[in-house]
Amino acid sequence: MNANEFGRLKLAAKAMKYAADYDMKLFSFMTKETGEDFSRIYHLEKIKTLPYGENKNQKAILFKGSEQVDYKVESENEFKYNDIINISCAAYIVSEFYDVPAVAIVRHTKPCGVAIGKSIYEAYTKAFDCDPLSAYYGVAAFSQKVDIDTAKHLGSMAVEVILAPDFEPEALSLLKENPDMKILRLKTPLKELRNMKLEEVTATPFGVLIQDRNNIDLDPEMFKVRTQEKPTEQQIQDAIFGWKIAKYSRTNAAIVVRDLKTISIGQGHTNTLVAVEHVLHKAAGMAKDAVLVSDCPMVGEDCIFAAIQNRVSLIIQPGGVPKDEQIFEMCDKYGISMITTGIKNYSH
């Protein structure tokens, strides 16, 4: 193929792209209006080739989706595949708390510290205290502008990626002094991100799975207090806060929460009992008077015994299993409050 033929072929491909885009939009409109979901077409426009995928032996490409956030990269370092996966998880978590100072620290797509504070600096230090070791080389997402005090702390850490809606000029200058740090300014409001109706696509050898993103919310009117011991208003706030974080944790997950701060997070366990025992062991004495959150139903008494031994004050869990009444009676016997939500939040 000579140069002229190659040039004509490129122009023909460009023309076909415009025609295909039109047909795709028309097809998507018709199937949406008729409800005929017999085929699915995704219009993906290439942004760039990434250095590599999840591992260096894997190739990866970043495409622009039909719906995505607007952002600006403030640093010179190139974002890699794993960075994008992690910042997506962290951004989703802080979007749950878009109207208050909140911080989420994520490592390997798993939350390792989340908190709400009176200021963004307080929220950051509370989140960092949950698991300082995992915060190293992690992703920190902020719901509000990063100030200079927060930037100073971040500058002393090996945080790999920072995401925030804004930065104080002095704070941004300080962060840029670290040549290894990646900084992203999220232009799309977090509330808008929270309400995005994105689909999750997973290719398997048995077929391609498509599901809606899990953006279910928990309203205080939805859950039920199942025990004679009633939770306080603060405990209810902690329970809802922890439930939202459990939604983004790997099943089986258990979280200890107090004062709108994660004390410890356990996730990715093969059963609920191991998750509960692990998270309470990590919390140690700080579990006293705290809230224990489970993303899966508590099916046995051993989970309750572990909570009793660590003097937990409230348990929030989905419920809906044959042993529910037996579990509620145990909580009544030992003076623990229990809330059931009726909502399971499995995440693999």
What CATH number has the domain bearing residue 83?
3.40.140.20
Q: Assess if residue 81 is contained within a domain.
A: yes
Round to whole Å and give the CA distance between 3 and 78. 33
Q: Assess if residue 210 is contained within a domain.
A: no
Segment 333-348 shows an average pLDDT of 93
Q: Assess if residue 41 is contained within a domain.
A: no
Q: Assess if residue 40 is contained within a domain.
A: no
Q: Assess if residue 207 is contained within a domain.
A: no
Lowest mean pLDDT among 26-30, 87-91, 108-112, 313-317: 26-30
231 and 160 part of one domain? no
Q: Assess if residue 106 is contained within a domain.
A: yes
231 and 137 part of one domain? no
Round to whole Å and give the CA distance between 245 and 230. 23
Round to whole Å and give the CA distance between 282 and 210. 36
Does the CA dihedral 283-287-291-296 come out positive or negative? positive
234 and 318 part of one domain? yes
Residue, of 99 and 134, whose pLDDT is higher:
99
Q: pLDDT grade, residue 327 (50/70/90)?
A: very high
Which residues sit opposite 207 in a β-bridge? 204
Does the CA dihedral 254-256-260-261 come out positive or negative? negative
First and final C-alpha spacing in the chain: 49
pLDDT in tens, 231-269: 999 999 999 999 999 999 999 999 999 999 999 999 999
Q: Assess if residue 52 is contained within a domain.
A: no
Residue, of 209 and 43, whose pLDDT is higher:
209
Q: Is 264 left (phi over 0), alpha (psi -120 to 50) or beta?
A: beta
Residue closest to 245 by CA, chosen among 134, 112, 152 = 112
Asked whether residue 109 carries a pLDDT value surpassing 70, the answer given is yes
Which residues sit opposite 208 in a β-bridge? 203
Task: State the average pLDDT for the chain.
Answer: 91
- pLDDT of amino acid 37: 67
Residue, of 66 and 209, whose pLDDT is higher:
209
184 and 245 part of one domain? no
Round to whole Å and give the CA distance between 328 and 339. 10
Across 65-206, where does the E strand assignment appear? Answer: 71-73, 102-107, 110-116, 139-142, 161-164, 182-186, 199-204
77 and 171 part of one domain? yes
Helix axes 148-155, 120-130, angle to 10 degrees: 30
Please state the domain count of the chain. Answer: 2
Residue 264 sits at φ, ψ, to 5 deg, of -155, 150
Q: Assess if residue 63 is contained within a domain.
A: no
Residue closest to 282 by CA, chosen among 248, 257, 251 = 257
254 and 150 part of one domain? no
- pLDDT of amino acid 38: 66
Asked whether residue 40 carries a pLDDT value surpassing 80, the answer given is no
Domain boundary (193, 211, 232) is at 193
300 and 232 part of one domain? yes
Lowest mean pLDDT among 7-11, 117-121, 203-207, 249-253: 7-11
165 and 109 part of one domain? yes
240 and 330 part of one domain? yes
Q: pLDDT grade, residue 78 (50/70/90)?
A: confident
164 and 250 part of one domain? no
* Residue 145 lies in domain: 71-193
189 and 75 part of one domain? yes
162 and 237 part of one domain? no
